[in-house]
Amino acid sequence: MATINALSLNDYGYTGNGVKVGVVDSGINKTHAEFDGKTIYGRDFASSATGYGFDENGHGSHVASIIAGDRDASGMRGVAYDATLFDYKTDNDGDSGLEAISSDSAVASIFNQHVTDNINVSNNSWGFGTSITAYSEATLRASLPNTISALTAAKNNGTLFVFAAGNDSNAEVDYAGGLPYRISELANEWLVVGAVSTSGVEASFNNRCGVAKAFCVVAPGVSINAAQANGNYTVMSGTSMAAPHVAGVAAALMEKFPSLTTAQIATRIKTTASLTGLTGRGGETTANSTTAQMQAIFGHGLINSTAAAASIGSYIYANGSNLNNGQNLSLSKLSLPAGLPASAQNQVLGSKFIVFDSFDGARFSVGGNEVFEASHSSIARTYDTTKIIDTHSKSELSFISSGQKIYPSKWAPRYIMSGNSNEMAAAEGFWGKTASMLSSQPFVKGQPSTNFIWAQSYGDFEIQPFIQIQDETASSQSIGSYGASFHLNFSDGLKAVTGYKISNHLFDNGILSDAASAGSARDFEVGFKQELSPSKNLFLRFLNTQIDDIAASDKTFGFKNVAANSWTFGYETRSNLGNFTFGVSSPSQLSNGTVSLMTPSGRTKSEDVLYTETEFAISRDNKMERFIAYQFEQDELSISFGVVEDKYNYGKIGAAKLDISMLF
């Protein structure tokens, strides 16, 4: 077991459970302690007096216990001890001959039964004694038409065939085990097995791989202690003992990788086998022999359960119906949306996710930190991210003429503002340039938009309804938002505002840079400005955003009962040396509800990826960030500068931004 690293599979729970292994041999003694609690299925093809489930010879019981003997700290144990055994008995009297392996039609009936019973792995520790090179393809097809047909049907039904190489010390394998060398359609679902000692030395009796090297491996087959038919244990040697080690590994791999085809399981075993450490009976090693010489002896080499069960290529995270468009995690991880609070991102990073091997699509479970990387970006605030036009100062925009008089049009908007949709407030007309200092919404993809704001005053009270048009790249535009703000002027320079906005957005909720979900949100904000002097003021703004539920996909997070909150408090001063603002804010981020993602759960044998919805609870981080912003304007030159603190690393700069613009 140590030679083939069986524990690396077994101790992680892969023991052949649910995998059917057919043992074509002298029988299986179902009363042996190694098969306690097991139901032995099968069929007696030799018309013996006892039937299947009994073994007059002992060879078959020895082989079967290597595959699936109990792991109970007594006697010995098998490689895939939870596999389901099928006894295909071929001996009727306990002698060395196998009466059921007597003709083409007799052998074919055994392998046809494999189809009937849906056998996953077939162990064949028997042979004919003659090398495969002694027969041509034409001869074999003429003499074994029924056997070849049955084998083909079984492998098409999902059976992996494991054959012993033979014990005649030949340079070539037995023709039963080497059949795919001539009958090439069988090669992908076939392994022939030679024998080495537990120290990696070729057995003296071993038939070498020879021309069958493409589908040949080796395993321990010298002095193997296993079950005997009489209820005891015995030590036996032979390629018959090597083959069931491979059959057991194949059964455990089939449990671990249920989506892989039989050919892919065989390929894993071959690809991860190694010539390192092996020694031929003539002293051949990798140090003194060529690779071709070593392959002629050992084929792909000694099997290794640990390597066969591990990733061979790179991890692929699926984001489609198949792996063609999946993310190769060896190149880069997927970024989590910046709008997710750290608490939710940490949940994702601490969860388990299914990924697939680029080599063959094998399924693995890895930590979220191997798939995703956190996104805790900060956004520096600078002046003039939103452009403002007061139409009362632009006669061509809002004034009409009647004779000698010019007066404002009641239908014209008072303000026209342009900027990114994720930075525009419900009360743009109230905040003016101060809007640039308010916390933006990182969970919304900013789209160039224009805000048309009307204004109607009633004494100290003013209402400003608005519509926001998204500047689409297409020939038509669409209304992205609409709502209104309500302004009230108190005494001593105190002003208050409340605003409500209903918006259609593209939400930045994807794990891919170009992924987003269309949805709607409702913003409610309350704000105050206190003029300390004509050039100085304090401002405070609270924002609550309710986001309508969005369905999850394999590329985007879904939202359920999700809301976001933020507040900003600042001090602004204006002079001929420029405008300066500093303040503190609790930045806008998702603060309650749940987010979910359709995550891969497995794959079918036809290579379709399966998904399940995984949910993560949202809780607010309660982080704050300090910021400063400065702007200097002269003539057509404007210089704006902003710095914001890293909210997850207080005292460190989270982001800085410098804008220099000039009108030519």
Of 25, 82, 360, 523, the catalytic one is 25
From residue 498, give the alpha-carbon distance in Å to each of 423, 485, 526, 540, 541: 17, 6, 4, 12, 9
Give the helix/strand (H/E) hosting 106.
helix 104-117
Helix (H) and strand (E) counts for the chain?
A: 13, 32
240 annotated active-site:
yes
Q: What is the largest CA-CA distance in the chain?
A: 126
**The pairing of beta strand 494-507 with beta strand 517-533:** antiparallel
* Tokens linked to 137: 């393809």
* Tokens linked to 209: 């791989």
CB atoms < 10 A from the CB of 459, how many?
A: 7
Beta-carbon contacts of residue 74 (< 8 Å; ≥ 6 apart): 33
Instruction: Provide the residue type at 155 as one letter.
Output: K
Give the helix/strand (H/E) hosting 343.
helix 342-350
The C-alpha atoms of residue 142 and residue 573 are separated, in whole angstroms, by 99
Torsion of CA 452, 458, 460, 461, to 10 degrees: -50
The C-alpha atoms of residue 241 and residue 3 are separated, in whole angstroms, by 14
The C-alpha atoms of residue 470 and residue 88 are separated, in whole angstroms, by 73
Give the helix/strand (H/E) hosting 185.
none
Q: How far is CA 511 from the centre of its chain?
A: 12
From residue 300, give the alpha-carbon distance in Å to each of 218, 240, 262, 274: 8, 19, 18, 6
Complete DSSP assignment for 265-294: HHHHHHHH-B-TT-B-TT---TTTS-HHHH
Which has the closest alpha carbon to 354: 653, 599, 84? 599
Of 26, 65, 125, 240, the catalytic one is 240
The answer to whether 545 and 591 have CB atoms below 8 angstroms apart is no
Torsion of CA 245, 247, 249, 255, to 10 degrees: -150
Helix, strand, or coil (residue 610): strand
289 annotated active-site:
no
From residue 268, give the alpha-carbon distance in Å to each of 1, 3, 179: 19, 18, 21
Q: Taking each helix axis from N to C terminus, what angle separates 59-68 and 239-256, rounded to the nearest 10 degrees?
A: 30
Question: DSSP H helical segments within 533-648, as ranges?
Answer: none
The C-alpha atoms of residue 168 and residue 389 are separated, in whole angstroms, by 96
The C-alpha atoms of residue 578 and residue 100 are separated, in whole angstroms, by 100
Which has the closest alpha carbon to 63: 298, 264, 293, 234? 234
Of 32, 44, 48, 59, the catalytic one is 59
- Active-site residue set: 25, 59, 240
